Structure 1
Amino acid sequence: MDGLAAALALLAAVLFAVASAVQQESAADVPQAQARGGRLLLALARSPRWWAGTLCDTAGFAAQAAALGLGSLLLVQPLLVTTLLVALPLGARWGGRRLRRSDWVWAALLVLALAVFAVVGEPTAGVDRAGWRPWLPALVLLGLLLGGCLAGAAVRRGAARSVLLAVAAGVAYGIGAALTKGVVSLLDDGLLALLTSWETWLLAVAMGGGTLLQQAAYQAGALEASLPAVTVGEPVVAVALGIAVLGERLRADGVEWALIGVLVVVMVAATVALARAAARDAAPVPA
């Protein structure tokens, strides 16, 4: 099951990479005057390119949901950062540029760190669903973080606004990833159980809000500002919820924990470096 979950996670990463590249170009074309809230989505809805990206995004989410139905958040979410391994050469090819040697080094480090993490950590699945009591403290803390980011973004412009919106999008997507496990498990109980579950509706709010925030982040500044925050934020939040709420664990002992700590640092550093490189190769945002 873990092998199939990993394969589906990698498929989701490819689809998310294509969606990210296409949607960023569409969002960058929207004038500042039309970049607020629902007006941004209305402007994007008139772009065939944005709809193509949205189709890839939807397919990617379906693959991610299937992966989470089979494997743990600790396994699936770190694998999704391989989106950058696809987005980077894709952006370079579309832009007629060659990848730097440092990009290949960071890509190799990310792949190596992910592989060793999966072998050493041996992520174990927890429960698919948890009641509202275990969720409440986590949602309050994440809600405060989300609110702080939105308040800061409301009074900032340029790169600062883009980063704050991207962090908020990462939080929303991380919550959505953790909720997806429970919603997928409800499919066996029928449509009524699915539609009457609070998890289903909170998932819809988290993913819808995350999409709006991500598009706003793309529009507010260069992709170099927003992509690292979204790419790192989602797995960090999802893994934290997997451990704190769903009871997932790493099977490590003694010195293995030190190695896992090093691997996490390497994965974060490589992810940020590759995200910046992918943003460098993306189309610039008009002033």
Structure 2
Amino acid sequence: MGARAAGQQPVAVQPGLYVVSTPIGNLRDITLRALDILGAADEVLAEDTRVAAKLMSAYGIKARLSPYHDHNGAERRPQILSRLAEGGRIALISDAGTPLVSDPGWKLVHDALEQGLKVYPVPGASALLAGLVASGLPSDRFMFAGFLPPKSGARKAALEALKHVPATLVFYESGPRLAESLADLASVLGGSRDGAVARELTKMFEETRRGTLTALAEHYEQAGPPRGEIVILAGPPEEKVATAADLDTALRDALASMPTKEAATSVAEALGLPRREVYQRALQLKSENAG
């Protein structure tokens, strides 16, 4: 299959660094613009040239491929930046999905921009977005947290910092660590919180399993490590509405060690209530106690 329809004129590609998204599984999830850029680039930087070569071959693109990854990045960046400064047209791709997302490349983009060079995003497939839209969890606000630490203690500490984030949390994970990570999510975030595990997205054995974090952890503990790239999602925490009793209890505790205004500010922030209302209630409680 050619990269362009018969008779179509070559697309003019301006000098600069093109951050090109590639399919996460299904090769037909490449965009027409991505094919144009890859076909016209002077050089295509790939995380793994063997993986990139399969994509190029599928679309009849004869591109000059060269490796760019975490291990050779520091050595290669000066040469790449020099070529860009001379007017080169260079494309950066990852093994799958959108580059720079839990992926090498951001230092190159950062340095290119620091030198005043052009950087062009070429959007496309992304595992985190594919997992989010298939999860059934709230998508109006989400936070991508990458890969969690491999050891349980560090993983739980990282999750504690995310526990109260009012958004759907999205993580990448490997099969062998999936059950343990889900167990830690259930332990720290709450086992009744809704979650989802999406894997093999856009591929033949695509699967999205939904349930509570506890149920998901138990399933993968029994089923064993699944194959494929994995996205874990945890829904936002339930919003707790503070009652009048909650407010009074918090205020009495705060007033025991703080001035009225400071106590009202602290409690208002903690309970998510208007400061003026909390302050007025604090004055009433002080008055009642004085009487």
Q: The TM-score by the shorter chain falls in which range?
A: under 0.3
**TM-score, with structure 2 as normaliser:** 0.23
**TM-score, with structure 1 as normaliser:** 0.23
Higher relative contact order, structure no. (Cα contacts within 8 Å, ≥ 6 residues apart): 1
Instruction: Give the structure with the higher percent helix.
Output: 1
Instruction: Give the structure with the higher percent strand.
Output: 2
